[in-house]
Amino acid sequence: MKYFIVEAFTDKLYSGNPAGVCLLDEWLEPEKMQKIAGENNLPETAFIVKEPEGWRIRWFTPAFEIDLCGHATLASGFVVLTQLEKDADRVYFNSQSGQLCVERYNDRFMLDFPSRPPVPIEIDPLLEKALGVPVLECHLSRDMIIVVPDAQSVKNMTPDFDIMRQVKGCMGFVPTAKGDDCDFVSRYFDPNDAIIEDPVTGSAHCTLIPFWKERLGKTQFVARQLSKREGTLYCSDEGERVRIAGNAILYLSGELYVQ
């Protein structure tokens, strides 16, 4: 099986978000794909197959399959457009979240994803204890958007994940604030996953983009995810869709010997 590791949302090695991309001739059993993702132990591993109606994609964390992953889709598009279909400008992936597009955009790759606006919810008192910073607002879609005072609060927080696990009702926790040298910043925590902090989370921006559109009164954004690896995302709100662009760089190309 051909296998790639791509650093997504960065143009430098050892930064951004690393994704595994497995190129399959036909689908494996889900249990085997999960074992491969666990063995690779990257934030996400994407599996892609060329089917009669086009490419299909599935995403696995080291612990479970997920319904949408931005950086592993960008990485998969990068692999198809730079390694397999070099004359193409875009590739479409069918997925459980509908059809997704990755388009070559100058030296970046752009995702066309569904918009997932959040709705306001009450603040769980445990959140401030979990994050160690004041919580100003909470909003919920698949993930919980948590507004904190400023970018430094996002960058410097050291969460208590045991307390965070007591807060129910979402997949990931996304502290966010207005940026100092960009439009907005965020981080992404999933205390129930094998990799608790995702370095750069494209799918979370399906919610962050419409949220910050309402706050900032604009539709074009530069966003930064302030994990240790960091990453930059170039975003736009298109109504029912969002566009998320970033750079990508190939770290590894090799072969997996899967029985």
- 102, two tokens: 């990755």
Catalytic residue among 7, 44, 103, 230: 44
Q: Which amino acid is at 184?
A: F
Q: Supply φ then ψ for residue 143, to 5 degrees.
A: -105, 160
CA angle in degrees (0–180, nearest 5) for 48-93-90:
110
User: Is 197 an active-site residue?
Assistant: no
What φ, ψ does residue 61 adopt, rounded to 5°?
-80, 175
DSSP-assigned letter for residue 43: S
Residue 43 burial (CB count, 10 A): 27
In sequence order, what are the residues at sequence separation of 6 or more whose Cβ sits closer than 8 angstroms to the Cβ of residue 239?
A: 115
Question: Following DSSP, what letter does each residue of 69-123 receive, concatenated?
Answer: -HHHHHHHHHHIIIII-TT-SEEEEEETTEEEEEEEETTEEEEEEE----EEEPP
Q: Return phi, psi of residue 33, to 5°.
A: -60, -40
> Which residues, including other chains, have CB under 8 Å from residue 143's CB and lie 6 or more apart?
170, 171, 172, 173, 174, 188, 204, 207
Q: Which residues contact 50 (CB under 8 A, 6 or more apart)?
A: none
Catalytic residues: 44
